[in-house]
Amino acid sequence: MASSRRDLAVRAAVDQGLLSAAEPVVALLDTAGIRASAAALTSAFAAVTDAPVLHAFAVKACPLVPVLRLLREAGLGVEVASPGELALARAAGVPPADTVLDSPAKTPAELRQALALGIAVNADNLQELARLDALVASAPTASPLGIRVNPQVGAGSIGALSTATATSKFGVALRDEGARKAVVQACLERPWLTRLHTHTGSQGVPLALMAEGVGEAYALAEDINHAAGRQQIDTLDIGGGLPVDFHSDEETPTYAEYARLLADTVPGLFDGRYGLVTEFGRSLLAKHGTVLARVEYTKTSGGRPIAVTHAGVQLATRTVYAPDAWPLRVLAYDSEGRPRTGEVTVQDVAGPACFAGDLLATGRALPLLHQGDVVAVPDTGAYYFAHHYAYNSLPRPGIHGFTVTGGGAGSGNGGAGGDAGGAGSGSDDAGGAGVVAFTTVRKPQTLAEIVAESGGALADALVG
């Protein structure tokens, strides 16, 4: 998110009472930023190929209906991996023709529904192909059908997110004894199998390794088509996985860099013989989400200052449990929502949950936080606040989209320059520099909802 837009939004969230003593944690989504990322993705691929490309947003990254609707309006489809995600996509109005189903554990009922709707399905394995055999034989379907392959090109820096290791649970492991031949044979026996799918990247996987995985899938498609004597594989689904910079406001690597790398390393991919599907998630949303939380108390422990805030494990689960793999920035604002200045002090920023490890940041150098201050946690638009973890029955926070008009801060797409004075982070009074309008994307969870979702209507279940 452009820092000038973020500063305006923090100030406005406090001014307009979105963040308050009663509502001490909220999440913000920068609508203009999301639009800009969707446009950057579309134009990056349009610059390297005339082939038809469906950019299917991985719903997993930000499962919110208004976000899916916004991306839909920007021309994107969706990639879903569960009945819940499919329901969200349908609620957002995404048509089946622009929907791809990918989960590794699809039930027969899920497959039947997908084929009845005409949603594209990527089978994860050969057993799933056998299920598809029966369904395809029993009723005609408009669903394009594919199979996921694991090129086994290796891991990135985060093991849990490395999908293309030798022993990954996803897809058919191509380098295993006999596996590649089995996939070719499976395709030759099934004229309706027209797609190959691979998703080799994710946070921590270098672009070159992602491109290598795509190259393996492309080579396999060429082999299948050669063996079939026709263009049986007509579409390659190259997955998502573009990593995100969690250390600054930079939006790197860019889609343009990745598309250019693919064009250089797998040129046949873009020559028009193959339709393409992409499945980016984190890179479309991460930079456009920010959590705001009030500092409830400050103290020192063992000589170290600690700010106890309302943002912790419930919305930054990965960071709290695996802080080295998932560091997040923390930005300090005063109680009015102005960037906090003052002496930089090494301190801990803690969350509200009742276990000692609930820390957003440990030993972080920041202007010393005070009671009533606001901390902003940027880069949390994907896999963070939309992925609530119900520890301590902490409520899901409200999520609000925002737009900025006027003051030169309105329509920038992440660039730092160009703001005509007043909107900068050092400004004492951002009012007049840009008007921030919020719209609710998800309401905060109520206590009544927590009770209802926790068996409230079944209170006698264990005593009756």
Residues at the site binding ligand PLP, with contacts judged by CB under 6 A: 58, 60-61, 79, 102, 199, 202, 239-242, 279-283
At its nearest, how many Å lie between ligand PLP and the CB of residue 158? 11
Alpha carbon distance 420, 327 (integer Å)? 32
**Cβ-count burial of 375 within 10 angstroms (0-12 exposed, 13-18 middle, 19+ buried)?**
buried
Q: From 273, 271, 316, 275, select the one nearest 293 (Cα to Cα).
A: 316
Question: Do 57 and 76 form a contact (C-beta atoms < 8 A)?
Answer: yes
- The dihedral of CA 429, 431, 433, 438: what is its sign? positive
Q: State the residue number with the nearest CB to ligand PLP.
A: 281
At its nearest, how many Å lie between ligand PLP and the CB of residue 383? 7
Select 78 or 361, whichever has its Cβ closest to ligand PLP: 78
Select 149 or 292, whichever has its Cβ closest to ligand PLP: 149
At its nearest, how many Å lie between ligand PLP and the CB of residue 105? 12
At its nearest, how many Å lie between ligand PLP and the CB of residue 60? 5
Select 387 or 442, whichever has its Cβ closest to ligand PLP: 387
Select 41 or 132, whichever has its Cβ closest to ligand PLP: 41
**For the residues of 365-424, what is the DSSP string, one character each?**
EEEPP-TT-EEEEES-TTTTTTS---GGGPPPPEEEEEEEESTT-SS--S-STT--SS-S
Alpha carbon distance 23, 25 (integer Å)? 6
First to last CA, the chain: 53
At its nearest, how many Å lie between ligand PLP and the CB of residue 198? 9
At its nearest, how many Å lie between ligand PLP and the CB of residue 57? 9
At its nearest, how many Å lie between ligand PLP and the CB of residue 388? 18
Select 189 or 250, whichever has its Cβ closest to ligand PLP: 250
Instruction: Name beta bridge partners: 293.
Output: 25, 375
Instruction: Enumerate helices (H) and strands (E) in the chain, giving the number of each.
Output: 12, 18
Select 37 or 202, whichever has its Cβ closest to ligand PLP: 202
**Cβ-count burial of 173 within 10 angstroms (0-12 exposed, 13-18 middle, 19+ buried)?**
buried
Alpha carbon distance 358, 37 (integer Å)? 32
Q: Look at residue 374 and give its three-state secondary structure.
A: strand
Q: From 35, 86, 40, 38, select the one nearest 60 (Cα to Cα).
A: 86
At its nearest, how many Å lie between ligand PLP and the CB of residue 248? 19
At its nearest, how many Å lie between ligand PLP and the CB of residue 156? 11
Select 118 or 204, whichever has its Cβ closest to ligand PLP: 204
Select 9 or 238, whichever has its Cβ closest to ligand PLP: 238
- Which two three-digit tokens encode residue 47? 């610059």
Buried b / exposed e along 74-91 (16+ C-beta atoms within 10 A): bebbbbbbbbebbebbbe
Q: Look at residue 15 and give its three-state secondary structure.
A: helix
At its nearest, how many Å lie between ligand PLP and the CB of residue 79? 5
Select 389 or 391, whichever has its Cβ closest to ligand PLP: 389
- Packing angle, helices 255-265 and 31-46, rounded to 10: 20
What does the DSSP 8-state code read for residue 151? -
Select 141 or 203, whichever has its Cβ closest to ligand PLP: 203
